[in-house]
Structure 1
Amino acid sequence: MLTPEVAVDLVVEALHIVMLLVVLLVVPGLVTGLLVALVQAATQINEQTLSFLPRLLVTLLAIILMGRWMSGYLMDFCVSIFQRAATLVG
């Protein structure tokens, strides 16, 4: 039976997975942008587009390196949701 407690647990687990996946993709780009900004500040280069390419490449590298794990983790969650759905409905 789908009680409010079970629904809240499902939402909390889903939000936890979303936060984990977003952090794995956003943090490397954030660190790269910070490092490029520090180099720009040290060299006094005020080019706005200079930090875009390194952040893009690092984000793509993170997707390449962690994409298989992230998709597997998400698929495992979806499978567990469908397995629980059979018991929650009736």
Structure 2
Amino acid sequence: MTPESVMTIGRTALEITILVASPVLLVTLAVGLAVSVFQAATQINDPSLSFIPKVLAVLVTFALAGPWMLTVMTDYMRRVLTGLPGIIG
């Protein structure tokens, strides 16, 4: 196993992680920003007001993007595991 192959596997793993996590993080960011603007405009500072919409948005995002996320992760693991004999020997 060469250092280049280890770096390639690690870089690809980080890319897949960012790719899979980005929909949830972007939706959470957008909902958090919208709730913050609403709280600033109405001067309502209730912590549950920012928590509940974020949780609902994350659940909806997982429901919509979950199959795609699972497919991306499964394809990556399949590539890693099928290429493992070539990497080791």
TM-score scaled by length of structure 2: 0.95
Matched residue type, 1:28: V
Deviation, structure 1 residue 22: 1.5
Aligned pair 1:34/2:33, yes or no?
yes
Q: How many residues align?
A: 89
Partner of 2:83: 84
Matches within 5 A, 1:55-66: 55-66=54-65
Q: Aligned partners of 1:88, 1:21: CA distance in 2, in Å?
A: 25
Partner of 1:47: 46
Deviation, structure 1 residue 83: 1.2
Q: Aligned partners of 1:68, 1:43: CA distance in 2, in Å?
A: 38
Partner of 1:19: 18
Contact 2:20 2:72 in 1 (8 A): no
Matched residue type, 1:62: T
- Give structure 1 regions of 4+ aligned residues with deviation exceeding 4 angstroms: none
Deviation, structure 1 residue 87: 0.8
Q: Aligned partners of 2:34, 2:73: CA distance in 1, in Å?
A: 31
Consecutive unaligned residues of structure 2, counting only runs of 5 or more, are none
Deviation, structure 1 residue 9: 0.5
- CA deviation string 1:1-23 (max 9, x = no partner): x1000110000000011111111
TM-score scaled by length of structure 1: 0.94
Aligned pair 1:73/2:72, yes or no?
yes
